[in-house]
Each structure stands twice: as structure tokens, then as C-alpha cells.
Amino acid sequence: MSPSYSVSVRLQRIRTEAAHVSVPLTSEMWRPSDDDPKRMTVDADKLMAAAIQLGAHAGTIWKPDGEPAIQPHPVQTPPDSSPS
């Protein structure tokens, strides 16, 4: 029988999940409008920062969003070669 060779390639599977959070519009979320300083508008950066904080809470329900993507890992390391 002829010898067989192989190359080990490290892969990564990236699973995307989605969650909906309700962000309370507190007084700190508002700022004067760029078009009309007499009008107030929501500060999108502060809104997104608050949404991310809510997403980090343990009670946030995350659901899979599509199939996981499988791709080569950007850092290729040799497999663990310690004897079992």
C-alpha cells in the first residue's frame, strides 16, 4: 500500500445571531438638530451604544440568523501534538 499524506488546516465557524432590544429614549439621548438648533434629534451614537449594552445582558434572547460561515482561520497553528 502506498503512503498517504495530509495537510491539517485550521478552520473557523462564525455563527451570526440577531436580537431585538428596546432602548429607552432618555434625556441624554437627545441633541440639537444639525439643520435647526431649535429642534431636537436622537443622537444615533448614544442610541447604538445603549443598544449594545442591552445586548450584552444575560437576559437578551439571541436567535440564529442564517447558516454559520465556515472559512480558513486567519492564524494557522499546528494541531496539539501531545500524546493522548
pLDDT in tens, 27-70: 999 999 999 989 999 999 999 999 999 999 999 999 999 999 99
The answer to the question of residue 10 being in a domain is no
- The tally of domains found in the chain comes to 1
Q: Which of 45, 25, 42 is nearest to 33 (CA)?
A: 42
Q: How many residues does the chain have?
A: 84
The answer to the question of residue 32 being in a domain is yes
The answer to the question of residue 47 being in a domain is yes
The answer to the question of residue 5 being in a domain is no
Q: What is the pTM of this model?
A: 0.68
The answer to the question of residue 45 being in a domain is yes
User: Residue 38: which domain range?
Assistant: 21-61
User: How sure is the predictor about 81, in pLDDT bands with cuts at 50, 70 and 90?
Assistant: low
The answer to the question of residue 25 being in a domain is yes
